[in-house]
């Protein structure tokens, strides 16, 4: 069997990012260890499935067409959705014991799954040579020996690579989180021979951006001209983007005082030159209201960085739960409030850079 080293590395990177973002979403520490990989088929996998499961299908679109499946233990899904909904621990324990999955639980866990898929998008899109977009499909509850196995339930017949992720929540190992990738799709993601690079100027984008975003992130297969200034020399810098000139200079000053090298720029700047040659180690993205344009900007920063390990910290004067979820979905690793607090920002940057 092909080794699929690239695909395994992408999945592991996406899972680590998903664990970090889920920790923030749930306000609970969630960690992931390296995945084990096995070959299986549907019959073998279902014969070994002892506990009830919650299956989330993921549709891969554009140049990598197909579907893969995330299989969670149903009790783990009930636990995480209960934490997100703020349900008392005693009630969560009762629901886990009786396998009670209500409509609110399904909606809440769909949010968590969608955030995980967002992490996969932010890793897969810059790593693959052609365009890809992953989208969540309606989830399915499946109880072995009770629910009927059909053509599509809990997932279609076929041969799969199964990635078994070791997930811990609050230090306790969870029951199951498997990722089943059909062999044909795995070969699309990670062919035995390197796939050809896209032609220059192919226009591969994550979102249909406004003209201003296209000017900020021009498509290019190589480093952009940095205008004579070497942004990649010496130690990599923290890139500070804020539409408020006073705020960005303030942040630049106190980051430099804390020992960071900082570059301050307007969000309208062509930032591709800063990322060339590994010149950026983190991004602070300051916004006024955290609106859709800002989320698109964050997503584009994630794409143009071509490095899923670079942390992006978004700041705004107001945050709602919906806006936080959108920020995370579009590539933000952390959220802070304006006005900037020097100690908080320095601590968050240090945490993310130490973990990178």
CATH number of 114's domain: 3.40.1550.10
Together in a domain, 145 and 283? no
Last residue of a domain, one of 149, 172, 189: 189
Q: What b-and-e string marks burial along 141-152, b requiring 16 or more CB atoms within 10 Å of the CB?
A: bbeeeeeeeeee
The CATH number that applies at residue 241 is: 3.40.50.2300
**pTM (2 d.p.):** 0.55
Backbone phi, then psi, for 97, in 5-degree steps?
A: -65, -40
C-alpha 319/C-alpha 247 separation (Å) is 18
Beta pairing, strands 237-242 & 280-286 = parallel
State which residues form the domain around 161.
Answer: 5-189
Domain count, the chain: 2
pLDDT tens per residue, range 323-354: 888 888 888 888 888 888 888 899 888 888 88
pLDDT tens per residue, range 43-99: 999 999 988 999 999 999 988 999 999 999 999 999 989 999 999 999 999 998 898
Together in a domain, 221 and 183? no
Together in a domain, 29 and 152? yes
The verdict on residue 89 lying in a domain is yes
The verdict on residue 208 lying in a domain is no
C-alpha 61/C-alpha 67 separation (Å) is 9
pLDDT tens per residue, range 214-263: 344 343 333 333 333 333 334 568 999 998 888 989 999 989 888 888 99
Are 310 and 281 contacting, i.e. CB atoms less than 8 angstroms apart?
yes
Together in a domain, 102 and 174? yes
């Amino acid at each position: 069997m092909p080794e699929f080293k690239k695909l395994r590395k992408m999945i592991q990177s996406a899972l680590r990012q998903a664990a970090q973002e889920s920790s923030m979403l749930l306000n609970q520490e969630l960690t992931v260890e390296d995945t084990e990989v096995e070959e299986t088929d549907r019959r073998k996998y279902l014969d070994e499935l002892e506990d009830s499961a919650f299956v989330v299908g993921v549709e891969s679109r554009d140049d990598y067409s197909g579907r893969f499946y995330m299989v969670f233990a149903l009790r783990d899904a009930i636990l995480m959705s209960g934490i997100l909904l703020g349900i008392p621990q005693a009630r969560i324990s009762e629901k886990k014991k009786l396998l009670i999955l209500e409509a609110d639980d399904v909606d809440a866990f769909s949010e968590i799954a969608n955030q995980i898929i967002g992490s996969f998008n932010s890793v897969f899109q810059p790593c693959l040579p052609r365009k890809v977009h992953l989208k969540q499909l309606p989830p399915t509850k499946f109880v072995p020996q009770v629910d009927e196995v059909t053509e599509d339930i809990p997932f279609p017949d076929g041969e799969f690579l199964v990635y078994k992720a070791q997930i811990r929540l609050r230090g306790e190992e969870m029951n199951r989180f498997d990722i089943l990738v059909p062999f044909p799709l795995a070969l699309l993601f990670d062919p035995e021979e390197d796939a050809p690079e896209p032609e220059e100027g192919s226009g591969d984008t994550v979102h249909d951006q406004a003209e201003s975003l296209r000017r900020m992130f021009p498509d290019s297969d190589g480093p952009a001209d940095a205008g004579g200034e070497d942004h990649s020399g010496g130690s990599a810098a923290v890139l500070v983007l804020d539409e408020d000139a006073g705020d960005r200079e303030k942040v630049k000053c106190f980051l430099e005082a804390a020992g960071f090298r900082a570059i301050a720029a307007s969000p309208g700047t062509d930032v591709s030159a800063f990322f060339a040659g590994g010149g950026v180690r983190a991004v602070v993205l300051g916004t006024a209201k955290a609106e859709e344009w800002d989320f698109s900007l964050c997503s584009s920063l994630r794409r143009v960085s071509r490095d899923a390990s670079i942390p992006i910290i978004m700041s705004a004067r107001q945050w709602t739960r919906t806006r936080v979820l959108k920020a995370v979905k579009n590539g933000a690793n952390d959220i802070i409030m304006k006005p900037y607090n020097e100690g908080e920002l320095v601590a968050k940057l240090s945490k993310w850079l130490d973990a990178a």
